[in-house]
Structure 1
Amino acid sequence: MPTDDSSLGQCSECGDRIAAAWLLVEYSKDDGTDGVWAECPACEAVVAPE
Structure 2
Amino acid sequence: MNSDASELGRCPECGERIPETWLLIQYETSDGKTRIWAECPACETVVSPE
TM-score band by shorter chain is 0.7 to 0.9
Gaps of 5+ in 2: none
TM-score, normalization by structure 2:
0.86
Q: Deviating runs (4+, > 4 A) in structure 1? A: none
TM-score, normalization by structure 1:
0.86
2:38 equivalent to 1:38: yes
Could you tell me which residue of structure 2 aligns to residue 17 of structure 1? 17
Number of residue pairs matched by the alignment: 46
Q: Deviations over 1:9-50 (max 9, x none)?
A: 000100000000000000112321101000000000000000
